[in-house]
């Protein structure tokens, strides 16, 4: 069964997840920091759905995991140019600062939530 994702829908999902993720950092300390990391993984999954709209869910999940783990591993690289970018607001949001296995677990959890959403039919796609 071929699933064709609607790009506008995925763009809206990405924007909503970004807003909720940014708000999660601003809400009082009762909300755990890792919520934002889970939302980051979910956002990456929805971005892959936007870009690769005809690929199977599993392919997008694997691509999302590879991308997310790659970004996390890149935290070990500390050239001056990337550290300068990393310490800007946008660089910190995209690249982060310190490697953590817990971040990888959170990203995978966010991706799993995205997979579950697609499996439950939240994407409202045309099925051929």
Provide the pLDDT for residue 1. 47
Predicted pLDDT at 77: 93
pLDDT value, residue 2: 57
**Can you give the residue range of the structural domain that contains 66?**
3-127
The structure's pTM equals 0.87
At 2-12, the pLDDT tens digits run: 578 899 999 99
pLDDT score recorded for residue 84: 94
Q: Residue 38 and residue 53: Cα distance in Å, rounded? A: 22
The conformation of residue 30, written as its DSSP 8-state character, comes to T
**CA 93 – CA 29 distance, rounded (Å):** 19
Residue 10, token pair as written in the block: 């995925």
Question: What is the per-residue pLDDT for 126?
Answer: 47
Per-residue confidence (pLDDT) for residue 24, from 0 to 100: 86
Q: How many domains does the chain have?
A: 1
Run of H or E residues at 73: helix 57-73
Query: 111, 57 in Cβ contact below 8 A?
Result: no
Low-confidence ranges of the chain (pLDDT < 50): 1, 126-128
How far, in Å, CA of 62 to CA of 52, rounded?
A: 12
């Amino acid at each position: 069964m071929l699933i064709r994702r609607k790009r506008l829908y995925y763009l809206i999902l990405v924007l909503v997840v970004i807003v909720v993720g940014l708000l999660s950092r601003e809400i009082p300390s009762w909300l755990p920091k890792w919520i934002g990391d889970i939302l980051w993984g979910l956002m990456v999954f929805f971005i892959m759905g936007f870009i690769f709209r005809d690929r199977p869910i599993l392919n997008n999940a694997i691509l999302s995991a590879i991308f997310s783990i790659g970004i996390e591993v890149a935290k070990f690289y500390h050239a001056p140019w990337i550290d300068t970018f990393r310490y800007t607001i946008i660089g910190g949001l995209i690249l982060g600062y310190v490697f953590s296995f817990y971040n990888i677990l959170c990203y995978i959890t966010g991706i799993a939530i995205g997979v579950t959403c697609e499996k439950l039919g939240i994407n409202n796609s045309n099925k051929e």
